[in-house]
Amino acid sequence: MERMRKMKTIPKVKICGIRSMNDIEILNEYRPDYCGFVFAESKRKVGLTEVKELIPYLQKEILPVGVFVDQEITFIMKAIEAGIKVVQLHGDEDQQFINELKIKINNNQISIWKVIRINKEIASDREPYLNINGLIFDKYSAVAYGGTGVAFNWDILSGKTFEAPIVLAGGLTADNLKDAVRIVNPFCVDVSSSVETHGYKDKEKVKVFVKKLKSLNLFNSQ
């Protein structure tokens, strides 16, 4: 079954790399759909204890996403116990890992997103992963698994359809957002570095990005 991509709607938005109560307050004010906590090695890394303390202060309609890179299922389960509602697999996890994780979670209220890192092209038109709820497309980097702030050529995804909804990541800004959404028509856009100043979430930049997204005129975007 192909996902219908001609019926364009405003994408959801995920603000990733949340680390502090100040970040939570910014998100509560501007209400993105998802809040990303990075558990993998990164300058934005947070621990289970921090996340467990922060999530109760997050507005209920903002879903907590845990970002993992090749981490053990036992650790992911602890993150779910801490309040994570979406598991974002941003490493080299294979289909067997996804299947085992799905069985272990055994809860349809917990979603699984899996990344594909784009270099020059998509390797195949076949459905890349099964048992997932979101397919993240991010820019390939030889030195980092994500959060680089670098975009890939969105035309690679133009006209592509997948069973799982597309989550678009990598180098998104308030300035290029309209083109990205017009070309890719994603279910969700994922942003981090472009809404930061000196490595910390910037209230004004978050405000501008979220408002720009929600005000897009997708019926006059050619």
In-domain check, residue 222: no
Structural domain count of the chain: 1
Query: Which domain, by its residues, includes 182?
Result: 12-212
In a domain, 26, yes or no: yes
**DSSP 3-state assignment of 175?**
coil
Residue 6 inside a domain? The answer is no
CB 128 within 8 A of CB 135: yes
| CATH value at residue 121 | 3.20.20.70
In a domain, 137, yes or no: yes
pLDDT in tens, 133-164: 999 999 866 555 555 667 889 998 988 888 89
Rounded average pLDDT over 111-115: 97
What is the four-CA torsion angle of 177, 12, 207, 29, rounded to 10 degrees? 180
Position 102, amino acid? K
In a domain, 4, yes or no: no
Q: Is residue 44 a part of any domain in this protein?
A: yes
pLDDT at 181 over 70: yes
Instruction: Give CA–CA dist 164/114, Å, rounded.
Output: 10
Assigned domain for 32 exists: yes
| % of residues, the chain, pLDDT over 70 | 86
How many angstroms separate the CA atoms of 47 and 170, rounded? 23
